[in-house]
Structures are given as C-alpha cells and as structure tokens.
A and B are shown apart, each in its own frame.
Chain A
Amino acid sequence: MSETSAPADAVAEASSAPIFAAERELLLQLDGVRAGGLGEGDVRLHDVNFRLHRGELAMLQLDSPASVRGVASLLQGLRVPEAGTLTYLGETWTQRRYADQDQLRFRIGRIFVMGAWIESLTIRDNLRLAPTHHGHSIAAVDQRVDELIEAFPPDMHLGGTKPIRTRLRDHLQQRPSYVAATLRQLFQWLRAALYPRDLWILERPDTHLGEAALSIVCEWMRESLEAGAAAIWMGPSLPATAPAAGQTIAIHRGLWKRSGSRERLR
C-alpha cells in the first residue's frame, strides 16, 4: 500500500508512537449520539462524542464479552442513531444517495465477530464478491489475494502440518463452514486489506490469532493507516504488534458513555 521504505529505526519508532495527526482530515464524528444495542449484550451508546481523523487508530476497550456488532453497524450507517448526529467524511449517512453510501462502505474494511461470510459461497467467491460488484476484475482480486498470502513467511505454521501459506491457498476453494476458525479470521483480515480503505472497523480482530499471525496482519493495517486510513479496534486489548492507539475509550459493562469530551470538543 505504502510505496515508501523507511529506515529500520524509524519503523520501530513509528510502531510505538501513535499515528495521529491533528491536521489530518476528520473522517468520523459523533456528536451526542445515543443508540441502543442490537440485542441483549450489545454495546449501548449514551451521549457519545467522538472524533476520528485519518491516520489515527482508536481503541474501544471492552471489559466484558459485550457484542460490538451494533456499534460497528452504526458507524457504517447501517443503523440510525436514536439521538445526536454521526457524520462520515463531512456528511451524515442519510444525506447521501444510496449509490454513494455503497461506494463509501466498500472503502471500509471491517472484521466481523460473527456472520462474516456468505455461507453458500466459497471463501474465494466471498473475497471476490464486493470488489467485482464494484467494478474490479476477478484477475486483479486473485492477484491481490496471492500477494497478501505471500506476506506470510514460507515456513510459518499455525497448527497443522502444512505451512500457513499452503493452507490458506488450499482453503480458498472451501465453503466457510469447512474452514478452521483461525484461517477464517485470517481470511477476514485478508478481505479487509484487499483494497485501499478509508476506515477499518475491527470487531475483536485478534480472536483465534497468535502473535506471529497478528504481527503480519497488523502490518497491513499500519500500511493502510500510513496511507491515510483510520481504524477502530474493538476488543479487550491491543496487541503489542499493533500501532499504538491515538485514543482509548473504555467500555464498561457494555456502555459507551459521554466522558466529558463534549466540552473539550467545543
């Protein structure tokens, strides 16, 4: 994604410092947003004020096994807040035409905590679905998938006798329910990294993944952040290999509530 190469010490420094630039474009803004959860156990929002700029990683720190699906859908404009305004790239979702909403959503890479696949399609067809719908060729998608799989070292194993590269390639032809949870999670990361993104919404993205695999997929996210994307990581903790969070919001007992930031924003 990012074409430039940086010296090793600069990269190391970047991994520990927040990728945050105040002058960068405001991507997402929540003002006094209130929203109920999708169901019992889903995170609720109470008068939330929040801003996310390009290049920034925000961490929603969960202290319970609460579901964040509703929050993620709200941020993507798939749900309307009960109160307050949610603007994405300067406009609320409802102000845009449906076709424009779809184009913007295509540029959001999302990792789902559940229900992440069309079960009647193979993993490869799942990966091709959205890009080909938005005008990209199958060949280009397949090539990009190959490039991303090549990012894993040839001798890297994640369980099983075969290297992870071979296992990923073998399972492209399988339907999701026949694929191990670890591989499915890696395929989700791969799908999120297929195309340049404006925003990454990551629902418990480290589930089933070890440090070695996380370091590779977090590198994809880091490159995307450096290229101008923003990311929201929703989970109990941020792995050491991930870029440092520009802001961390603690979600206590499934409630994301106002933390006095409204005054600060004014």
Chain B
Amino acid sequence: MTPRVRLRPSPLRVLAMPLRILAWIAESTGRLAIKRVVGLAEILAVLLATMRLGLSPASWTPPVRQVLARQLLFTAVDSVSVSIRFGAAVGVLVIVQAAMWVDSFGINTEVITPLLWKAIVRELAPLLACLVVIGRSGVAIATELATMRTGGEIELLDAQGVDPMNMVVMPRVLAVVISTFCLALLIATVMVATGYAIGWAMDAIRVSWRTFLSEIAGQLNRRDLYFFVPKTLLSSGFAAAICCLDGLQVKGSTTEVPRVSSRAGIRALTAVLAVSAILSLVIYGRILVFQIG
C-alpha cells in the first residue's frame, strides 16, 4: 500500500482563490445586468414598434382590426363584472380601514375623503386594473402566442407576408392598454361608490352623496392625472409587452407553454409593481406616495 501524500497548496493558489470568487461574482452580476438591460430593451422595442405601427393607417387592415376588436372584447368587456367585484371588495376594505382610523385617532370625515380619493385614484385602481388584466388576459395572451409559436402559426403568418408584429402583437398590446385604462376608471368609480355606501352605513361618512362627490371632485388635481394616466398606460403596456414577448420566445414543444405562461404572469406583475414604484419616485420625488390630509 502506497503512503498517502498530502500536498500543501502553494501560496499563489491560496491567494488566487478569493480573486477567483470575486471574478465569479463580478461575472455573474455583469451577466445578470446585461440580461436585464437586454430584456428592458426588448420590452421598449415592442412598445415603440406598437406605437409606430398603431399610428400608421396602413397597419390597420381588416384582419388587424378584427384582432383588436376581439382582444378588447375579451380583455375589457368580459372583465367588467370581475372588475366591479374587485372594486367593490377593495372599496369595502379601504373604508373599513378608514373607519378604524376614525375610531382610533378621532379623525373626521374631511380626512377620510382625501385619503380614499388619493389611495384609490393614485394607487389602488390602476394596480387592481392591471391585476385583473394580467390575470385574465396577460396569461391568456402568453399561452395563445406560445401555442401559436410551437404550432408553427407565427411562421405561417410570416410565410404569407403577414407581419406577426403587426397582426399579433400590436393589436393585443393596444387592446390591453386601452382596456386597463377603462377598467381602472371603472374600478375607481366602483370603489368610491362602495366606499361611500359602506361608510354611510357604518356612520363613518355623515355627509350626503352629493357633498361627498363634490368633496372628491375638489380633491382632483393635475397631479392625480399625472400619476393615474401614465401609471395605467405604462404599467399595462409593460405587462402586455412582456406577455407577448414571453409567448413568442417559447422554445421547444407545447409542453413548454404552461411554464412560459406562468412565468409571463409573474414577470408582468413584477413589471407593473416596478413601474409603479419608479413612477412614484419620479412624480412625487419620494417612495411614500400617500400624503394624508
């Protein structure tokens, strides 16, 4: 039996180890950063191409208009009932919280109204609309496009001289953006109405509906629009672009489709929250967006 010889590592090797680890960390971080930048560039490219194609009258051929109409029907019209339910439920939650504040801190109705308004218009309504749209349509779009891709339908369109960007992506992204904006308005209205109804029933709001509405109208300022409109449009645009991209980038067979769909849903949701946070930082110059009172 030969004796086991233990070699001592050379000093150079010992010194090289931490350097190797540092290099590995730097490489991984760099790779991740490049991946994120490329991903963002792809999303922005889809949004820019959508805008360019959407503004060109030549893009709006009868089949493209048909795709837009179908997507609007599915994303906006079919989502009305679920949006009302969501809006009503969250409206109740908000007013219950507000009532608790009234009880705990002795805050009066004049404080609740702006709180309701700012929370609903600036944050909750756009976010809820995005959630509804991602849950109902975003995942469906990713699944549909991934199935089309694996089934060779995207190539079929291309082979017939029909640009998939024009026929498949552009009408879907636009339909999602328009639908989210409309649903956000609907959800905001439902939340305000539900908030008033529940607040009035709980004796947390003691003013008439007309006074309540006029108080809310008085709260409306340009800043709200600056936040509501870009947040709704940008968040939904990002979500739609991500779902389309993920669907179209599927590789392999149909077994990949469910994985891609769920991934697209999560990525879209993350993007909506990230865009919201970034817009809050840009518009308000602070992370905490609520300015109570």
A residues contacting B by CB (< 8 A) are: 69, 72-73, 76, 78, 98, 101-108, 110, 112, 114-120, 128-130, 132-135, 138
Contacts and interface: CB of A to CB of B under 8 A. Distances in A.
Interface string B114-158: 000000000000000000000000000000100010011101111
Contact of A119 (B153, B162, B167): B153
Contact of A105 (B152, B160, B167): B160
Contact of A115 (B63, B153, B160, B167): B153
B163 A115 contact: no
Nearest to A114: B152
A240 B161 CA distance: 32
A98 B153 contact: no
A104 B160 CA distance: 9
Contact of B159 (A98, A105, A133): A105
A118 B153 CA distance: 6
A108 B159 contact: yes
A129 B158 CA distance: 12
A112 B152 contact: yes
Contacts of A115: 151-153, 155-156
Interface in B149-202: 151-153, 155-163, 167
A44 to B, nearest CB: 18
11 contacts: A76-B159, A78-B159, A101-B161, A115-B153, A115-B155, A117-B156, A118-B148, A119-B151, A129-B63, A130-B160, A133-B61
Contact of A102 (B63, B144, B156, B161): B161
A119 B147 CA distance: 10
B229 interface: no
B265 to A, nearest CB: 21
A117 B62 CA distance: 19
Interface of B: 61-64, 144, 148, 151-153, 155-163, 167
Contact of A133 (B63, B144, B148): B63
A251 B156 CA distance: 24
Nearest to A73: B155
Given A110-B159, A128-B63, 13 more contacts: A76-B158, A76-B159, A106-B160, A115-B155, A116-B152, A117-B153, A120-B144, A129-B157, A130-B161, A130-B162, A133-B63, A134-B61, A138-B62
Contacts of B160: 105-106, 110, 129-130
Contacts of B63: 128-129, 132-133
B50 to A, nearest CB: 15
Nearest to A72: B159
A106 B152 contact: no
A112 B152 CA distance: 10
A142 to B, nearest CB: 14
A133 B152 contact: no
Nearest to B153: A118
Contacts of A135: 61
Of B158, B160, B167, chain A has the most CB atoms within 10 Å of the CB of B160
B149 to A, nearest CB: 10
A118 B167 CA distance: 12
Contacts of B158: 76, 78, 105
B108 to A, nearest CB: 56
Contacts of B162: 102, 106, 129-130, 133
Contacts of A98: 163
Contacts of B161: 101-108, 130, 133-134
A67 B161 CA distance: 22
A252 to B, nearest CB: 26
Contacts of A104: 161
A230 to B, nearest CB: 17
**Nearest 10 CB-CB pairings of A with B:** A115-B152, A106-B161, A105-B161, A130-B160, A102-B161, A133-B61, A132-B62, A133-B162, A133-B63, A118-B153
Contact of A112 (B62, B144, B156, B167): B156
Contacts of A103: 161
Identify the interface centre among A78, A98, A105, A106: most chain B CB within 10 Å of its CB. Answer: A105
A133 B156 contact: no
B251 to A, nearest CB: 11
A118 B155 CA distance: 10
B172 to A, nearest CB: 13
A78 B162 CA distance: 12
Interface centre among A98, A103, A133 (most CB of B within 10 A): A133
Contacts of B64: 133
A23 B152 CA distance: 37
A118 B163 contact: no
